[in-house]
Amino acid sequence: MPLEILGKMYEKANKEYYAIGQFNFSNLEFLQSALDAAEEMKSPVIVALSTGAIKYGGIKNLVALTSTMADQISAPVALHLDHGATLDDVKMCVDAGFTSVMIDGSHHSLEENIKLTRQAVDYAHANGGITVEAELGRLGGIEDDVNVDERDARLTDPEEAVRFLEESGCDALAVAVGTSHGAYKFKGENAIDFDRIKIIKEKLGIPLVLHGASSVDPESVAQINEYGGKIEGAKGLDAESYKKAIERGINKVNIDTDLRLRWTATMRKLMVEKPGEFDPRKYLGPARDAVKELIKQKMKLLGSAGMA
Ligand code: G3H
Ligand code: 13P
Ligand code: ZN
């Protein structure tokens, strides 16, 4: 079916307290993994492009590929801009056929964030009723190769969120509750402020989004290290954390790092075990299958399986 407006997918998820996975991609294979998983699991799916991914693959190519592939399956697919930084990013993606955009003004003052988000909302809503996700508070970790220092990370303030929603008119809100982007999320124990999610949800009622939500699967990390990689001290969310966050009102869970780790683990093993192989399909194919299986597991965990 044609690409679906994310706001439409959210209606049921928000009412029934489940989450839809956002899976980032930059190439054909990751997109196939996500869409095949959605079809097999009868799950709605969000595929997302960062501005870095757009630069890598070309916006026209990536939109054409996504909509052509979505047309061939019955599971609903939304195409989302991840962490748009400027109004121009938003306009470019709305004009290109995205069905959801994120404007991330979290690095600005509250006033500036509201102003920027309001402009994005006005443009996206006027041009096809495209859904807008905003961010309030600030996540730590790696964003577009820039390390957001932990001291600059700031949890979302519920009262500020009420004002932010009223004045910006956003459709969904990314909340900072203790997760961070990348493979190194927690020093020591997982410190997610689950109650903050519940409080914000009760005050706002709109779909809430959890960024930095990869599990940083220990098996993938171990396999990468076993076959010549070097990833140390990586840590992410366990299944229980997903459950608690979703019960309290998270409706979209962003996953990128887990896909990259599983992909890299599969490729590293194959490269070592089959040194004579030089047909890329022989190693890209198995990596694609491994990522698909991972996404299927996530869809079960998030409760979106069977909801298409
Ligand atoms: O939130 C960040 C995403 O993982 C996108 O990462 O900017 O390297 O494509 P990227
Ligand atoms: P991870 O780095 O935990 O996969 O988070 C991805 C993300 O939040 C994309 O917006
Ligand atoms: Zn993010």
Run of H or E including 291: helix 280-302
Tokens of 170: 């956003």
In angstroms, rounded to a whole number, what is the distance separating the alpha carbons of residues 198 and 156? 12
Which candidate, 70, 76, 14, places its Cα nearest to that of 45?
Answer: 76
CA of 184 to the centre of ligand 1 (A): 14
Instruction: Please report, for the chain, the start and end positions of each structural domain, with discontinuous segments joined by +.
Output: 6-302
pLDDT of residue 247: 98
Name the DSSP class of 157: P
Respond yes or no: is residue 152 known to be catalytic. Answer: no
Rounded Cα distance between 179 and 260, Å, is: 18
The pLDDT value recorded for residue 56 is: 98
What values do phi and psi take at 83, rounded to 5?
55, 50
Options 36, 71, 82, 195, the catalytic residue: 82
Give the pairing of strands 250-255 and 208-210: parallel
Q: Are 253 and 192 in contact (CB under 8 A)?
A: no
Whether 50 lines ligand 1, by a CB cut-off of 6 Å, is yes
Which atom of ligand 2 is found nearest the CA of 236?
A: 3
> In the CATH scheme, what is the homologous superfamily, with its name and number, of domain 6-302?
Aldolase class I (3.20.20.70)
Whether the CB-CB separation of 1 and 70 falls below 8 Å is answered with yes
Q: Strand pairing of 146-148 and 140-143?
A: antiparallel
- The answer to whether residues 119 and 88 touch, using CB atoms and an 8 Å cutoff, is no
Among 165, 106, 173, residue whose Cα is nearest residue 139: 106
Whether the CB of 212 sits within 6 Å of ligand 2: yes
| d(CA 225, ligand 3 centre) in Å | 25
Angle among Cα 111, 46, 173 to the nearest 5 degrees reads: 20
pLDDT at 144 (0 to 100): 52
With the most atoms of ligand 1 within 8 angstroms of its CB, the residue from 31, 51, 82, 253 to mutate is 82
Ligand nearest to the CA of 183: 2
Per-residue confidence in pLDDT tens, the chain, 308 aa: 999 999 999 999 999 999 999 999 999 999 999 999 999 999 999 999 999 999 999 999 999 999 999 999 999 999 999 999 999 999 999 999 999 999 999 999 999 999 999 999 999 999 999 999 999 998 866 555 555 555 456 899 999 999 999 999 999 999 999 999 998 887 666 789 999 999 999 999 999 999 999 999 999 999 999 999 999 878 899 999 999 999 999 999 999 999 999 999 999 999 999 999 999 999 999 999 999 999 999 999 999 999 99
Residue appearing with tokens 């697919």: 77
pTM for the complete prediction?
0.96
**Ligand 1 within 6 A of CB of 179:** no
- What pLDDT score was predicted for residue 184? 85
Measured by CA distance, the residue closest to atom 5 of ligand 1 is 50
What is the model's pLDDT at position 233? 78
Contacts of 140 (CB under 8 A, 6+ apart): 148, 149, 150, 152, 153, 180, 181
Contact 43, 300 (CB under 8 A): no
SS3 22: strand
**How many other CB atoms sit within 10 Å of the CB of residue 222?**
13
Q: What residues sit around ligand 3, an ion, with C-beta below 5 angstroms?
A: 211, 254
Cα(274) to ligand 3 centroid in Å equals 35
Of all protein residues, the one whose alpha carbon is nearest to atom 9 of ligand 2 is: 254
Any ligand 2 atom below 6 A from CB of 214: yes
Both tokens of 206, joined, read 């709109």
Q: Do residues 53 and 66 touch, judged by C-beta distance below 8 A?
A: no
